[in-house]
């Protein structure tokens, strides 16, 4: 009985590794130096039997359960996020194999409207007549200007009427670029929400687009110059009003005024170029004018942004308003009326 208990206690992994005494010493801390008595190891009972030394089967040495289990848990916990990520990636890849293309649904939902519009535009272009014959009849056999540089210089600087129109078109789109780039930020700084800003931003082009239906006809009746001058001055007053008279109701009124002024100017400037240009050079002259006019979009956004960074939103808006009013004065002084009969009829 005692031999069996001794053999069982001696076979314990802690006894084999010598961890039993280490644990006992760690549990009983002692102060001062300690000498190890080696006699206790010499007096330990040895396993002997009458049958001699018995061969012991091989067995694996394991760490204590508390140490091994904790270390395994730590290893498994560290690997868990990577395993989960790999599983999710594999699931996403497998699910993507079952995803169907939705192009057909989009085409079905749209009913092929985009294709129908493209086909209608193509068919309508087939019924468009070439106007070269009309130009030749109007020009009376006059030759075209051979030098593009000379024609561009004449339209941009030398001809009083067309150069004034180029300046007015440039400044008109300067304030247009300011309206799109700066005014929404100005409204936001005053605490307006997206709904109010969207309403203000849509009022200006809505009045501008609808107003052109009537202003073009009016310019045919009363002349080009009065509408251009009035439109530029009207835009100047409206732009300055955004700063001078703040408030959502005032801003709505000023957006309407700005749209009306732009409607006065936009179609009339194109008519001035068409009136003043020589018939063989009309398309090229319109192209030069459009170059200056459309450059105003970029110039307006850049100029307004630089001034706003340096001096604030009100200074940038007032500067653009002054440029617009000055351009109207230049048109009033420098531009010639291209429809003198209409102007005389008005008087």
Task: Tell me the CATH number at 321.
Answer: 1.20.1250.20
**How many residues in the chain?**
347
Those residues with Cβ within 8 angstroms of residue 172's Cβ, 6 or more apart along the chain or in another chain: 232, 235, 262, 265, 266, 269, 293, 296, 324, 327
The predicted structure's pLDDT at residue 23:
45
* 15 in any annotated domain: no
**Helix H or strand E segment including 176:** helix 160-181
Range of the domain at 297: 146-346
How confident is the model over 59-100, as pLDDT tens digits?
444 445 444 455 555 555 566 676 777 778 888 878 877 777
Report how far apart, in Å, the C-alpha atoms of 99 and of each of 90, 108, 194 are: 15, 18, 36
Task: Tell me: pLDDT of 326 over 90.
Answer: yes
Mean pLDDT value across residues 135-140: 62
Mean pLDDT of the chain: 77
Determine the pLDDT at residue 256. Answer: 94
Q: How many domains does the chain have?
A: 1
**Quick one: tokens of 319?**
């500067």
Whether residue 150 lies inside any domain: the answer is yes
With respect to residue 97, please indicate whether it lies within any of the assigned structural domains.
Answer: no
CA 338 to chain centre: 44
The answer to the question of residue 7 being in a domain is no
pLDDT the model gives residue 338: 86
Task: Find the mean pLDDT for residues 239-253.
Answer: 92
Model pLDDT, residue 60 = 46
- Cβ atoms 317, 251 nearer than 8 A: no
Exposed / middle / buried, residue 253 (Cβ in 10 Å: 0-12, 13-18, 19+): middle
Q: What is the pLDDT of residue 343?
A: 52
Q: What percent of the chain has pLDDT over 90?
A: 31
- Within-domain flag for 50: no
What CA–CA distance (Å, rounded) separates 246 from 267? Answer: 30
The answer as to whether 44 is a domain residue is no
Please answer whether residues 207 and 260 qualify as being in contact, where contact means their C-beta atoms are separated by less than 8 angstroms: yes
pLDDT at residue 98, rounded to an integer: 78
Cα separation, 203 vs 196, whole angstroms: 11
Q: Is residue 301 part of a domain?
A: yes
Which class for 231: exposed (0-12), middle (13-18), buried (19 or more C-beta within 10 A)?
buried
| Cβ(321)–Cβ(239) below 8 Å | yes
User: Which of 49, 329, 317, 288 has the alpha carbon at shortest distance from 183?
Assistant: 317
d(CA 334, CA 269): 14
Q: What does the pLDDT read at residue 320? A: 93
* pLDDT band of 3, cuts 50, 70, 90: very low
11, part of any domain: no
On the question of pLDDT at 283 being above 90, the answer is: no
- Average pLDDT on 12-19 reads 46
Long-range CB contacts (within 8 A, 24+) of 140-145: 142/278, 142/279, 142/280, 143/280, 144/280, 144/281, 145/278, 145/280, 145/281, 145/284
């Amino acid at each position: 009985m005692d031999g069996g208990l001794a053999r069982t206690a001696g076979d314990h992994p802690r006894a084999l590794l010598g961890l039993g005494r280490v644990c006992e010493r760690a549990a009983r801390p002692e102060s001062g130096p300690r000498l190890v008595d080696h006699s206790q190891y010499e007096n330990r009972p040895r396993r002997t039997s009458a049958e001699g030394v018995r061969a012991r089967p091989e067995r694996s040495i394991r760490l204590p359960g508390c140490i091994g289990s904790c270390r395994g848990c730590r290893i498994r916990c560290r690997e868990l996020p990577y395993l989960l990520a790999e599983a999710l990636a594999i699931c996403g890849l497998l699910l993507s194999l079952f995803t169907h293309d939705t192009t057909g649904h989009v085409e079905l939902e749209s009913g092929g409207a985009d294709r129908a519009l493209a086909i209608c535009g193509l068919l309508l272009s087939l019924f468009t007549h070439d106007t070269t014959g009309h130009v030749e009849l109007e020009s009376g056999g006059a030759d075209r200007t051979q030098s593009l540089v000379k024609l561009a210089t004449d339209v941009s600087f030398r001809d009083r009427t067309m150069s004034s129109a180029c300046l007015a078109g440039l400044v008109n789109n300067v304030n247009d670029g300011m309206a799109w780039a700066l005014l929404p930020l100005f409204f936001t700084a005053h605490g307006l929400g997206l709904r109010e800003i969207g309403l203000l931003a849509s009022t200006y082009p809505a009045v501008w687009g609808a107003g052109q239906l009537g202003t073009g006809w009016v310019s045919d009746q009363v002349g080009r110059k009065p509408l251009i001058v009035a439109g530029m001055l009207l835009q100047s007053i409206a732009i300055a009003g955004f700063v001078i008279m703040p408030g959502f109701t005032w801003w709505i009124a000023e957006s309407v005024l700005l749209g009306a002024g732009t409607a006065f100017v936009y179609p009339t400037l194109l008519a001035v170029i068409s009136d003043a240009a020589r018939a063989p050079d009309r398309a090229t002259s319109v192209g030069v004018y459009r170059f200056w006019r459309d450059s105003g979009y970029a110039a307006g956004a850049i100029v307004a942004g630089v001034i706003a960074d340096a001096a604030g939103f009100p200074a940038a808006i007032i500067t653009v308003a002054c440029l617009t009013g000055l351009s109207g004065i230049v048109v009033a002084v420098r531009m010639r009326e291209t429809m003198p009969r209409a102007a005389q009829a008005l008087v």
